[in-house]
Amino acid sequence: MSFANQTPTIVVLKEGTDSSQGKGQIINNINACLAIQDTLKPTLGPFGSDILIVSSSGRTTISNDGATILKLLDVVHPAAKMLVDISRAQDAEVGDGTTSVTILAGELLKESKTFIEDGINSHLIIKGLRKASDLAVSKIRELAVEIPKKENDLEFRQLLERCATTAMSSKLISKNSEFFTKMVVDSVLTLDQDDLDENLIGIKKVPGGAMEDSKFINGVAFKKTFSYAGFEQQPKSFTNPKILSLNVELELKAEKDNAEVRVQQVKDYQDIVDAEWKIIFSKLEAIKDSGANIVLSKLPIGDLATQYFADRDIFCAGRVSSEDLDRVIKAVGGSIQSTCSNINAEEDLGTCEVFEEQQIGSERYNIFKGCPQAKTCTLILRGGAEQVIAEVERSLHDAIMIVKRAVTHNSVVAGGGAIEMELSKYLRDYAKTVAGKQQLIISAFAKALEVIPRQLCENAGLDGIDILNKLRSCHAKGETWYGVDFQKEAVGNNMTSFIWEPSLVKINAIQSATEAATLLLSVDETIKNEDKSEQAGGRGAGAY
């Protein structure tokens, strides 16, 4: 028997490489994503529960924010990491809807799983999901209600407050939403309306006190910096001060540390010491002559300079963080100086109406109010425990992002599952006009959208099947904005109940969820390389 024509075995991948493919691999990936979905489901909506996550270092976090939970979970399955990525993308792009997008992506995969098991080609499923997604997005744009922005400032502010209240409804601060809604809307409207850079909203956390002891400051506030002797003799409040911002170190430096000095006589050494004093005093004189009442620096301001300023009724703060100093500049004007010479009082110094140092809880804060360039503000958050304040900060971040999106895209849809039910009804009707397998896939997309109102009901302890039947009936009769009404524990018109969300949130969630689902369905092979440490550990005698 001849073996000449047999093809020799060719090893392409390294020994120990794990390779799995085919229908089983797609189903395995879907199951991993459904495990993530099950973790997040209980956190959805105003009655969603929080999750306590303990890191490997023992740090605890309590949150119901989808992006935060997924970021802290140590997800190792490569396919499930996709859901982590889309929730982060939703958080960065829109700021809210991070839980919804993950649950929706999981539900789309769950519906697709039955088709995969029945032997339908994954590319046909992908085509159907993309078609359904495009139809849903165009329907949202058609249904969205535009609120005129410039005609009525009061009405526009009410729109923003309603969007913020809806964003907070599922958060820890929902009971204090009236207090925080005003704070969030004020902070977004303070910003430059052209670029709305949310990084200019400073958030400071001071443990202790109640949540409603939190403060909104129309200007800049930062924690009192490290201070030297003489600091307490400085004035702690000014009206219309001149503010100088520096990137200069004001400390007495021993120049012998920076250079080699050779001396012949004792008086030569005295000259060197005198020169050191002369260098710092020339800087301090230049600052005093500029007319500045407040001196801020990114670098240290030593005890000599602190006492010098105290004797001349000047306030100083050294080691101010770059972020805080940049916000001060944007608020009060002026510019950061890297030298003390040639300071121009008109151009280089900033000003504000009031500067004061205040005691907030156990901390002292330097506060600049009434800033002429006021394109920045500061929120000082209070709370009983650090975990509580951290969750308040995350909740406010979501609400701020929602209000920011509502300012730039002032079209809204009703929340509480209303828009999902309307889209579901629209896609079911459309599916009837399509022949073949696409009809099944578009119908499956319609069914997947119902996961949002169903989960909202389950988390609130309501009868999901009964309420979904009522919602289907209402939407069939043309009640576009009917969704789950938690106050009545029934269904109601969420547009008239002011449960509003920016349409951009829903559009982004549907597009992101569809992209994640289609990408995972297109993967039918996973090749996993063996860990290098295992390879090294596995090499024994004769392995070479």
- Rounded to whole angstroms, how far apart are CA atoms 446 and 439? 11
Residue 225: active-site member? no
- Rounded to whole angstroms, how far apart are CA atoms 347 and 245? 12
- Which tokens belong to 118? 């029945």
- Whose CA is closest to 505, among 231, 166, 175? 166
Angle in degrees, 0-180, between the axes of helices 503-521 and 122-143, rounded to the nearest 10 = 180
| Catalytic residue (choose from 99, 181, 306, 351) | 99
Residue 311: active-site member? no
What is the sign, positive or negative, of the torsion defined by CA atoms of 534, 540, 543, 544?
A: positive
Reduced to 3 states (helix: H, G, I; strand: E, B; else coil), residue 59 is coil
Starting at the edge strand found earlier in the chain, the sheet holding 237-239 runs 219-223, 363-369, 354-360, 237-239
Query: Quick check: 459 and 49 in contact, CB under 8 A?
Result: yes
Query: What is the 3 state secondary structure string of 123-187?
Result: HHHHHHHHHHHHHHHHHHHHHCEECCCCCCHHHHHHHHHHHHHHHHCCCHHHHHHHHHHHHHHHH
- Rounded to whole angstroms, how far apart are CA atoms 169 and 390? 17
Q: What single DSSP character describes residue 480?
A: T
- Rounded to whole angstroms, how far apart are CA atoms 67 and 44? 12
| Catalytic residue (choose from 43, 61, 65, 351) | 65
| Catalytic residue (choose from 98, 181, 190, 378) | 98
Query: Quick check: 99 and 45 in contact, CB under 8 A?
Result: no
- Which tokens belong to 211? 């949540």
Residue 99: active-site member? yes
Residue 398: active-site member? yes
Q: CB 304: neighbour CB atoms within 10 A? A: 18
| Contacts (Cβ under 8 Å, ≥6 apart) of 451 | 103, 104, 107
- Whose CA is closest to 335, among 379, 380, 290? 290
Helices then strands, counting H and E runs in the chain, come out as 18, 21
- Give the largest CA-CA distance in the chain: 107
| Catalytic residue (choose from 190, 324, 398, 518) | 398
Using CB atoms within 10 Å of the CB of residue 480, give its burial: 0 to 12 exposed, 13 to 18 middle, 19+ buried. middle
- Whose CA is closest to 71, among 61, 505, 390? 61
Q: What single DSSP character describes residue 543?
A: -
Residues designated catalytic: 65, 98-99, 398
